[in-house]
Structure 1
């Protein structure tokens, strides 16, 4: 969709150009606030889990509980999002997640929250995210288009990581002053903004008309057939697997690093979580320039290599300042890779297949993170956090070389 307030082509490559479109700006702002509440909750949950147990595998299970539903249910969600009105569908998902957050807040307030209920409700929150994600990604090209699509996707990722910068710091301050229940309660309230913003948006008529009247099984079969027949999609997925499985190690083990390796208090723990988001925001702002200089294809390979180097330095020099700097650097690498991969997927998919195609992309992404999280968590439990980080950095080197042999579709030329 275009807008009368859309930037001219001379400014279309600007990192902030999509914010000139009112609908995108409103949804982006509401989503940033919601994600801020989500990161307050996630950081508080991670701190709470380290209070219940010192075993790294349980921290990894908490991460896996939030991401496993993406692997299990995302394709099902993509089928629904391609068959029904995506605006109403997203609102339903937001109401579900608001209810889960409110339940967490109530249990924490009553002192009834234990590690099993925390894991179970984290899975339920992940289920809401899994059902919501394909539809959310699919509506972005309905709001922005053409040369503004790549910066719009980067802005969505930057907004997520801006929330990751602010949410953990504010959350850990409130955690020390009031308690973890307040973090969950605030997160429940933040979904209201997204619900109202989505209700205010009106989908373009051509987007609504693009829905195909297929049965559920027909939609599933056609989606699977499209993905199986697309060599370009397979190339993006293969690249993603090369990065996400080893690259998730430092994020998965961050609670263990902060709480036990560095001995941080609540506030410093929140700062450590925040610097990843700060690095990611900086990466999103710089990404259009990097893509013009290197091409998105090469920018992703550089991001993989630099991510490996930063992980290795963090493992070898385990001090707060060094680890913080390395975590920020990995955040910039992470967003560069994800935004360029997501843009490649979006440009390949037709609108009637967009939610299902993005669902498969999310399944690969989160499936790789679940496998990686459990593997690196178990390795850290058996041999220690530092050896696990070193192993992940070493594993990323040959996988970066492999990824370099797989061309990112539509990205070999500079934008």
Structure 2
């Protein structure tokens, strides 16, 4: 969603400002549409998590719910990257949005009829994850087609901030509606929010040169060349390695949040939504402050600091399982997550040429979501065997050597993305 200006307006005068990419009207329209869609998505996510804890008290099923939404990103993301590099990315994204709208509508109908059980919830969460998996590489690939150069990093941060602003608003509104009406309304609202993204994508005029830069390779050839490009690129491998160091141990607190909120803290629907929201609030704050942190520390060291702070607050939350302390710690972890995700994502975007961008971003997403799936299942199993508190303590302990290892790997960076 961040890409070179497409004639929608003059380039911003302050290229390093956190909000400067919003001066691009095409970026602003897509950002607002995506914000509304993600708000509906987080309403659905927290509603589904609450519903699953109503259907079963086993932490492993809550972990399976998280894994069911992210596993398709690992399984199908590279296929999606090949397709997004072969076909018109704008039309491709619209098709993915229609699929996800249909899945959300199906969830709403089943919930309204009282036919939603834990297995159908898992299956439809997988289908929603499939839509996200097919959509993500193309979505990330069009970012440098809307804003470019020094605007790319703040634009990526703004996209992450919008996602987490939705994570702040969506759970609170969703849990209020859940208590008043029922979970079916959350799924129905999410289905409607995809309309805005479809309209925004329909109204965006993709630059002709961006479409021309895509190579019309055969499917097998595109797969081979994509794999060969990633295998030969040491900078990409370094980014992936650093990501694994953080995401695999760091996902514990996010995975176990529904269990902690409902069973460890005994929260009601509204407080449960607030607990989800504070992560998003922290992430939004982190996105706003990220430009300053990167300027003072550099993206490389900013990420290492974020990993170390994440380990510390995870341990604090584990040792003092009270709503105030856990909420504050969750907010800090949100800031840490967005720092690592945005800096890693910008580094990948700056390495990839346009013809390889969707496939390269697909591999990046596979590593990210593969780590989250493995981590979700790991921490769900550990919490089932030892309890949520022990799982958080182990997570914090593993993050310490992982942070040391990540510090030994330089985060690649370049001043401008390649054309």
Per the normalisation by structure 1, the TM-score is: 0.98
Q: Which residue of 2 aligns with 1:180?
A: 183
The question of whether the paired residues in 1 share the 8 Å contact of 2:350 and 2:414 is answered with no
Q: Which residue of 2 aligns with 1:265?
A: 268
Q: Which residue of 1 aligns with 2:406?
A: 403
| Alpha-carbon distance between aligned partners in 2 of 1:338 and 1:4, rounded to the nearest angstrom | 28
Deviation at 1:8, TM superposition (A): 4.1
Q: Which residue of 2 aligns with 1:102?
A: 105
Question: Closer, same or farther in 2 for the Cα pair 1:91/1:4, shift >3 Å?
Answer: closer
| Alpha-carbon distance between aligned partners in 2 of 1:347 and 1:158, rounded to the nearest angstrom | 20
| Alpha-carbon distance between aligned partners in 2 of 1:302 and 1:158, rounded to the nearest angstrom | 19
Question: Closer, same or farther in 2 for the Cα pair 1:57/1:246, shift >3 Å?
Answer: same
The question of whether the paired residues in 2 share the 8 Å contact of 1:296 and 1:411 is answered with no
| Alpha-carbon distance between aligned partners in 2 of 1:76 and 1:186, rounded to the nearest angstrom | 29
| Alpha-carbon distance between aligned partners in 2 of 1:174 and 1:303, rounded to the nearest angstrom | 34
The question of whether the paired residues in 1 share the 8 Å contact of 2:8 and 2:25 is answered with no
Instruction: Give deviations 1:205-254, integer Å, cap 9, x for gaps.
Output: 10010111110000000000000000000000000000000000000000
Deviation at 1:4, TM superposition (A): 6.1
Q: Which residue of 1 aligns with 2:326?
A: 323
| Alpha-carbon distance between aligned partners in 1 of 2:131 and 2:397, rounded to the nearest angstrom | 35
The alignment covers a number of residue pairs equal to 411
Q: Which residue of 2 aligns with 1:247?
A: 250
Of 302, 305, 308, the match for 1:305: 308
Deviation at 1:100, TM superposition (A): 0.1
The question of whether the paired residues in 2 share the 8 Å contact of 1:98 and 1:187 is answered with yes
2:340 is aligned with 1:337: yes
Q: Which residue of 2 aligns with 1:87?
A: 90
| Alpha-carbon distance between aligned partners in 2 of 1:350 and 1:209, rounded to the nearest angstrom | 13
| Alpha-carbon distance between aligned partners in 1 of 2:163 and 2:209, rounded to the nearest angstrom | 29
Q: Which residue of 2 aligns with 1:20?
A: 23
Instruction: Give deviations 1:85-110, integer Å, cap 9, x for gaps.
Output: 00000000000000000000000000
Per the normalisation by structure 2, the TM-score is: 0.97
Instruction: Give deviations 1:239-296, integer Å, cap 9, x for gaps.
Output: 0000000000000000000000000000000000000000000000000000000000
The question of whether the paired residues in 2 share the 8 Å contact of 1:297 and 1:411 is answered with no
| Alpha-carbon distance between aligned partners in 2 of 1:221 and 1:283, rounded to the nearest angstrom | 38
2:208 is aligned with 1:222: no
| Alpha-carbon distance between aligned partners in 2 of 1:192 and 1:146, rounded to the nearest angstrom | 30
Deviation at 1:186, TM superposition (A): 0.2
Instruction: Give deviations 1:73-93, integer Å, cap 9, x for gaps.
Output: 000000000000000000000
Q: Which residue of 2 aligns with 1:5?
A: 9
Deviation at 1:411, TM superposition (A): 6.8
The question of whether the paired residues in 2 share the 8 Å contact of 1:50 and 1:59 is answered with yes
Unaligned runs of 5+ in 1: none
The question of whether the paired residues in 1 share the 8 Å contact of 2:20 and 2:151 is answered with yes
SS of alignment partner, residue 409 of structure 1 = coil
Deviation at 1:392, TM superposition (A): 0.2
The question of whether the paired residues in 1 share the 8 Å contact of 2:12 and 2:20 is answered with no
Q: Which residue of 2 aligns with 1:119?
A: 122
The question of whether the paired residues in 2 share the 8 Å contact of 1:101 and 1:187 is answered with yes
Q: Which residue of 2 aligns with 1:387?
A: 390
| Alpha-carbon distance between aligned partners in 1 of 2:239 and 2:274, rounded to the nearest angstrom | 33
Question: Closer, same or farther in 2 for the Cα pair 1:324/1:182, shift >3 Å?
Answer: same
2:351 is aligned with 1:348: yes
Q: Which residue of 1 aligns with 2:135?
A: 132
Q: Name the Cα RMSD after superposition.
A: 0.9
The question of whether the paired residues in 1 share the 8 Å contact of 2:37 and 2:193 is answered with yes
The question of whether the paired residues in 1 share the 8 Å contact of 2:172 and 2:274 is answered with yes
Q: Which residue of 1 aligns with 2:277?
A: 274
SS of alignment partner, residue 263 of structure 1 = coil
